[in-house]
Amino acid sequence: MGGTVKEKKQKASWFKGLKAEFSKIIWPDRKSLTKQTVAVLVISVLLGVLIFIADLIIRFGIEFLVK
C-alpha cells in the first residue's frame, strides 16, 4: 500500500514546492478585501438587473411578433 521510496520523495518535494509557492502569495489587507468584495457584489447586481431588463425586452418583442 505504501509507495516506493522514489514516490515518497516526489510527494515530499511536491509539498515543499507547494509550501514555497504559498509563501509567495501576497494576501490583501482587510480594507482592500472589503473594497473588492463590495465592487464584485455591486457589479454582479448591476449585471443581473441589466440581464433581467434585456430578458423583458426580448420576451415582449417575441410576444409582439408572435401575436
Answer positive or negative: Cα dihedral of 46, 52, 56, 62: positive
Helix ranges (H only) for the chain are: 5-24, 30-66
For 7, the grid coordinates are: 514516490
pLDDT, one tens digit per residue, over 9-67 is 888 888 999 999 999 999 899 999 999 999 999 999 999 999 999 999 999 999 999 98
Q: Which residue has the cell 449585471?
A: 47
Rounded (5°) CA angle 40-46-51: 120
Rounded to two decimals, the pTM is 0.60
